[in-house]
Chains A and B, each alone.
Chain A
Amino acid sequence: MEKEKTTIVLFSGDLDKAIAAFIIANGAAAYDHEVTIFFTFWGLNTLRKDELVPVKKGLLEKAFGWMMPRGSSKLGLSKMNMLGMGPKMIKHVMKKHNALSLPQLIELAQEQGVKLVACTMTMDLLGLKEEELIDGLTYAGVAAYLGDASDAKVNLFI
Chain B
Amino acid sequence: MNIKVHVDAKGLACPMPIVRAKKALDGLESGELMEVVTTDKGSLNDFQAWVNQSNNEMVKQETVDGLFTFVIRKG
Which A positions have Cβ atoms within 8 angstroms of B? 23, 26-27, 29-32, 97-100, 108, 112
B-side interface residues, number (CB < 8 Å): 13
Give the CA-CA distance A97 to B16 in the complex, in Å: 12
Which of A26, A32, A97 lies in contact with B15, CB distance below 8 A? A26
Bound-state Cα–Cα, A63 to B27, Å:
49
Residues of B within 8 A of A100 (CB): 13, 16
* 13 extra interface residue pairs, beta carbon distance < 8 Å, beyond A97-B13, A108-B19: A23-B14, A23-B15, A26-B15, A26-B19, A27-B14, A27-B15, A27-B19, A30-B19, A30-B21, A31-B54, A32-B54, A100-B13, A112-B19
Binding site for A on B (CB under 8 A): 11-16, 18-19, 21-22, 50, 53-54
- Specify which of A26, A29, A98 is in contact with B11 (CB 8 Å cutoff): A98
Closest to A22 in B: B15
Nearest A-chain residue to B19, judged by Cβ:
A30
